[in-house]
Amino acid sequence: MNKQIFEDASVGHHANRKNIATAKYPAALQQNFSLSATAEAMREISTWQGYQQTPLAKLTDPAAEYGLGAIYYKDESSRFGLGSFKALGGAYAVLCLLRQKIRTQTSARVSVRDLEAGKFSEIAARVTVVTATDGNHGRSVAWGARRFGCQCRIYIHAGVSECRAAAMGELGAVVMRIAGNYDESVRQAARDAADNDWHVVSDTSYPGYTDLPAAVMAGYSVMMDEILGGNMPQNMPQLPGNAGLTHVFVQGGVGGLAASVAAYLWEKLGDARPRFIVVEPVLADCLFQSAVNNRATEVHITRETIMAGLSCGEVSQLAWEVLSIATDDFLTISDELVAPVMGMLADDNIEAGESAVAGLAGCLAVCANPQLKAMLDLNERSRVLVLGTEGATDREIYDAIIKRET
Ligand SMILES: Cc1ncc(COP(=O)(O)O)c(C=O)c1O
């Protein structure tokens, strides 16, 4: 890998440590993020057909090259055959919504098996779920809708690739492309849902809309439970105890993923939790700007980043409640760091998509900068976790990048 690019990279850094609450996990956050919600999601999702713990790879070469003790990479490329960690969130929220609908109408508590056997098919078929997406979340919602028997409409923005749109269509969703950017597609989906009595199943939350995004984030936290929890008999924790983790680098779009990870670590490990770092593309840095301004801040996206899943200009309200007090450092990185990291992982036989590598790219860029490395307390004793959140979710884009890198 061309180390020079990392040495030359301009990395935006905002230290948020003065805002950090070191005490026990706050009771106020329990309603939306809790280990018991994780355990419930894990109990459910681990029974789904095709469930398998995703691998946790140890990246020995970059750890040695950049002077770190260990780098662990959670590889989500195989999750439920959908190619990203988002498979855990949207589909789980669709299930929570349907259960609640059926319960209201029949008082019955339904299982996935009931739904898959078509037991409440008339009620389910009258429900339409809607979401805006840049690909991965929509795929999860469409997959859940087909699996549990409801209708699905997906809103995509002008920059979403044809390949990602087709993947959702193949799952039976009606896919609507709008002219604007991601945030406009979110607003259009909300408007159309209100006009048609459809149900928004969004991965971002806003005032008055929190329950389903909280379910989405509980689904994501299953990843952390596979690493540290070992709640299910078939899952040994991949890192027993906390295996001395000192740093976690997580990429941010609207912040839902990062918030679910930060909340999990805080409640589980308390003061012993690792340093938590959020990484965003400089072209879509709404979490970074929110940290700078100390309040949720919208940014206007003028150019799409190659990290399509992270191209968001507005933070999720619930996510910001956690991240504003649980994130030690916010970073921004430029798009040029993405391809080299994808290529490096491909050499290690790991298929990592553009949005998967942001956390790792941020970590390596910090390590290549002696001042930042010292500031973030990274050294040969550091044990770093990064989340490889997607595989080749657009095969054409992936192949073109890897071809250039080899
Ligand atoms: C592959 C991938 N990684 C990370 C993220 C970021 O998740 P969030 O928007 O919850 O911050 C996304 C969002 O779509 C994604 O698709």
Per-residue pLDDT tens digits for 237-294: 999 876 799 999 999 999 999 999 999 999 999 999 999 999 999 999 999 999 999 9
Average pLDDT over the chain, rounded to an integer = 95
> pLDDT tens for residues 61-86?
999 999 999 999 999 999 999 999 99
Q: What is the pLDDT of residue 406?
A: 73
pLDDT at 364 over 90: yes
pLDDT in tens, 208-244: 999 999 999 999 999 999 999 866 777 789 998 767 9
Read off the pLDDT band of 375 (50, 70, 90). Answer: very high
Q: How confident is the model at residue 26, as a pLDDT?
A: 94
Cβ of residue 203 lying under 6 Å from some atom of ligand 1: yes
356 pocket-lining for ligand 1 (C-beta < 6 Å): yes
Tell me the per-residue pLDDT of 380-398, one tens digit each, with 9 for 90 and over: 999 999 999 999 999 999 9
**Counting every residue, how long is the chain?**
406
Whether residue 49 has pLDDT greater than 80: yes
Atom index in ligand 1 nearest the CA of residue 217 equals 10
Instruction: Give the pLDDT confidence score for residue 232 in this predicted structure.
Output: 72
Residues marked active site are found at: 86, 134
- Confidence at residue 3, expressed as pLDDT on a 0 to 100 scale: 85
The pLDDT score that the predictor gives to residue 351 is: 98
Q: Is residue 257 in contact with ligand 1, taking CB distance under 6 Å? A: yes
Helix 90-106 to helix 35-45 angle (10° resolution) is 90
98-110 per-position pLDDT tens digit: 999 999 999 999 9
Q: What is the DSSP letter of 76?
A: -
Q: What element of type H or E holds 64?
A: helix 60-65
Considering the entire predicted model, what is its pTM?
0.96
Q: What is the pLDDT of residue 306?
A: 96
**pLDDT at residue 379 is higher than 90:** yes
CA nearest ligand 1 atom 9, residue: 253
**Whole-number Cα distances in Å, 398 to 136, 236, 402:** 15, 32, 6
The mean pLDDT of 181-190, rounded to a whole number, is 90
In this predicted model, what pLDDT tens digit does every residue of 303-360 receive, in sequence order? 999 999 999 999 999 999 999 999 999 999 999 999 999 999 999 999 999 999 999 9
Residue whose Cα lies nearest atom 10 of ligand 1: it is: 256
- Longest C-alpha distance within the chain, in Å? 63
pLDDT reported for residue 230: 67
390 in contact with ligand 1, CB cutoff 6 A: yes
Q: Which residue has its alpha carbon closest to ligand 1 atom 13?
A: 309
Q: How far is it, in rounded angstroms, from Cα 364 to Cα 329?
A: 15
